[in-house]
């Protein structure tokens, strides 16, 4: 699903797993492989939801956060304060560096 899926469908899936406290390690491995695509093709809220899900489930997701850092100026410019806050919380929770965010 992650390889060919629509970014919003992928985000909805990971968010659902997180709200049900289902770890889904294989899903997050695929998220890591497609992190660049997901961050480039998603809206700031979707990126925030993915980061939140990773942090909520304890998946460190370093590739995801590297991509978030790379696109941080877009996320801050286009995202809502809540999306930015959730993304920053997730980075902090997972001890991922995101100084540009």
Give residue for tokens 């406290």.
Answer: 21
CA nearest 39: which of 77, 80, 10? 10
* Cβ count near 71 (within 10 Å): 19
Core vs surface per residue 34-48: b (16+ CB within 10 A) or e: bbeebbeebebbbbb
pLDDT digits (tens, 9 = 90+) for 11-35: 899 999 999 999 999 999 999 999 9
Residue 77 structural domain: 7-93
pLDDT given at position 1? 61
pLDDT one-digit tens code per residue, 42-72: 999 999 999 999 999 999 999 999 999 999 9
Q: Is residue 63 part of a domain?
A: yes
Counting the structural domains of the chain, the total is 1
With cut-offs at 50, 70 and 90, classify the pLDDT of residue 6: confident
In a domain, 98, yes or no: no
| Residue 48 φ/ψ, nearest 5 degrees | -60, -40
pTM recorded for the entire structure: 0.92
Assigned domain for 100 exists: no
| CA 14 – CA 78 distance, rounded (Å) | 22
């Amino acid at each position: 699903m992650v390889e060919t899926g629509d970014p919003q469908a992928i985000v909805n899936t990971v968010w659902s797993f997180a709200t049900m406290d289902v770890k889904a390690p294989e899903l997050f491995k695929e998220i890591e492989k497609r992190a660049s695509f997901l961050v480039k093709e998603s809206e700031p809220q979707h990126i925030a939801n993915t980061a939140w899900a990773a942090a909520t489930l304890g998946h460190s997701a370093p590739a995801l956060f590297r991509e978030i850092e790379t696109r941080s100026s877009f996320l801050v410019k286009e995202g809502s304060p809540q999306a930015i806050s959730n993304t920053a919380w997730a980075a902090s929770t997972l001890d991922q560096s995101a100084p540009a965010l």
